Amino acid sequence: MLELAGLFVAALVAATLIPAQSEAVLVALIVQGVHTVWLLLVVATVGNVLGSVVNWVMGRFLIRYSDRRWFPFSQNQMDKASRWYARWGYWSLLGAWLPVVGDPLTLVAGVLREPLWRFLLIVTLAKGGRYLVLAWITVGLAT
């Protein structure tokens, strides 16, 4: 059970700008075989999506503090994510799993008041899909 909590926390933190490697934790737990792959996928996806919700909330309610030192996204990251969002609209959230631009995209979605239901649907598909592919590769290599 402690492994699942660790995976959840790693996935949640990894969705913010705090450096964390939820993928490495997921792969290690799949290889260990202590829990079913499906359970690990659900825990990792829920944690990572909730981390993205933290970003969405920051964009929705805390963007006025973006000039503060403690604010986790740089102006450059927000500008890049805003350009993606301007070009692709809410479909850009399919890139929420991407390094560098993914987390700021989830913040920009909050700034632009993307409805939470649609945000959750698209981000869950993107992040869950990434973990699913990673698990598929891991299981394939482990057998």
Angle of helix 22-32 relative to helix 116-142, nearest 10 degrees?
A: 50
Residue 121: half-sphere exposure toward Cβ, Cα within 13 Å = 7
- Torsion over CA: 59, 51, 41, 131 (sign): positive
pLDDT at residue 76, as a whole number: 83
Domain definitions of the chain by residue range: 2-142
pLDDT at residue 128, as a whole number: 97
pLDDT at residue 68, as a whole number: 83
In angstroms, the CA 3 to CA 113 distance is 35
Q: Which amino acid is at 62?
A: L
**How many other C-beta atoms lie within 10 A of the C-beta of residue 120?**
17
| Predicted structure pTM score | 0.86
Tokens linked to 20: 């964390």
pLDDT at residue 143, as a whole number: 67
φ and ψ of 65, to 5 deg? -100, 15
pLDDT in tens, the chain (143 residues): 899 999 999 999 999 867 778 999 999 999 999 999 999 999 999 999 999 999 999 889 877 888 888 877 777 877 877 787 888 889 999 999 988 788 888 988 998 899 999 999 999 999 999 999 999 999 988 76
